Amino acid sequence: MDPAKRASVGGRSETHLEEQVKDWLRYGEDLGLSPYYRDRPPLHAIVESAAGPVESPSVATSSAVSTAAILASAPAMIAAAAPGRASGAPRNVAASASQKSPAATILPATAARSLFEVIERIEGDTLLRIREDIGDCTRCKLHKGRTKIVFGTGNPNADLMFVGEGPGRDEDLSGEPFVGRAGKLLTDMIKAMGLQREDVYIANVVKCRPPENRLPEKDEITTCSPFLMRQIDTIKPKVICTLGSCSAQTLLQTTQGISKFRGEWFDFRGAKLMPTYHPAYLLRNPGAKPEVWKDLQKVMAVLGLQPKKR
Ligand code: URA
């Protein structure tokens, strides 16, 4: 059949919309180059599975989504992806909530989840098993300079989880996250929220200290962050508060600077994610403390917490 005569959906030719859907999915690919998308099926498989039964139980829709439905939803999908969301821009909750288009509700689960949520959850996983799997890790070059692996600490059933970048000198020596100067400030922040350190869970993107406290490198993050993913899936916090750009950029798979999106809510693997500045940044820039306090107050509102009485 002449492609120009193919069915028209919403006034656009099906082929045109199909191309737009593929573009949208490619945009997802751009966001998810690493580390959590390496197990994702190739683009053509996503397009095909969206048109037929979904294989993976964790992403299964109750019924097969028809190609026509996907094509009909393409404008909403495309609107969600562009413009103003150049590659690397995370999707925030406010933005997705404001898209009330009915088409958005028929987004295939595979495509909707593909941006941030593809890595499979491990049934029956535990923190102990994750720690055992890490073992005496030599998977990346950071092991060469470390004293202790800094796995994470706190309440395994915490509603609130903080995610930092990686251990510093004090953490490397003690094996505990956030125990140095920045850690003391984090402890004060937690107390100001009406909590104790033991109430929350604290972990980092990488579990070994980068030399001279440099930023973790991409291969190190790619190697180590699946363990963080498993920790998040096991703890199932209601809120994840990322500290600094490394953890926010890693979890949200963006290259945007944190100042562009801190203080906004994001969806992340069933939790609400609040990016804020790193306490070490606050030590250098105390003027940014009110901004962080605003972010923490948003977290407190969601968790029903009252600030500590002075
Ligand atoms: N900074 C971090 O990001 N994590 C720590 O554990 C300590 C300092």
Token readout for 159 is 């509603």
* Closest ligand 1 atom to 246 CA: 3
d(CA 58, CA 233): 13
> What residue spans define the domains of the chain?
3-113, 127-303
Q: Is the pLDDT of residue 63 over 50?
A: no
d(CA 309, CA 234): 32
**170 CA: nearest ligand 1 atom:** 7
For the stretch 149-180, pLDDT in tens is: 999 999 999 999 999 999 999 999 999 999 99
**Average pLDDT score over residue span 199-224:** 97
Minimal-distance CA residue to ligand 1 atom 7: 178
Convert the pLDDT of each residue in 12-46 to its tens digit. Answer: 455 666 666 555 554 444 433 333 333 333 333 33
Task: Locate the ligand 1 atom nearest the alpha carbon of residue 205 and give its number.
Answer: 3
Least confident segment among 76-85, 159-168, 209-218, 245-254: 76-85
- Beta pairing class for 239-243 and 271-276: parallel
Distance 182 CA to ligand 1 centre (A): 7
Tell which atom from ligand 1 comes closest to the C-alpha of 204: 4
Residues in the chain: 310
Taking the centre of ligand 1 as the mean of its atom positions, its distance from the CA of residue 197, in whole angstroms, is 14
Could you tell me which CATH number the domain at 127-303 has? Answer: 3.40.470.10
Our mutation pick for probing the ligand 1 site, out of 178, 181, 185, 283, counting the most ligand atoms within 8 A of Cβ, is 178
Span from the CA of 172 to the centroid of ligand 1 (angstroms): 10
Residue indicated by tokens 């397009």: 47
Pick from 189, 268, 190, 277: nearest CA to 236: 268
Tell me which residues have their CB closer than 6 angstroms to ligand 1. Answer: 150, 164-168, 171, 177-178, 182-183, 204, 280
Beta carbons within 8 Å of 308's beta carbon, 6+ residues apart: 191, 192, 193, 194
Distance 166 CA to ligand 1 centre (A): 5
- Please give the model's pTM, rounded to 2 decimal places: 0.67
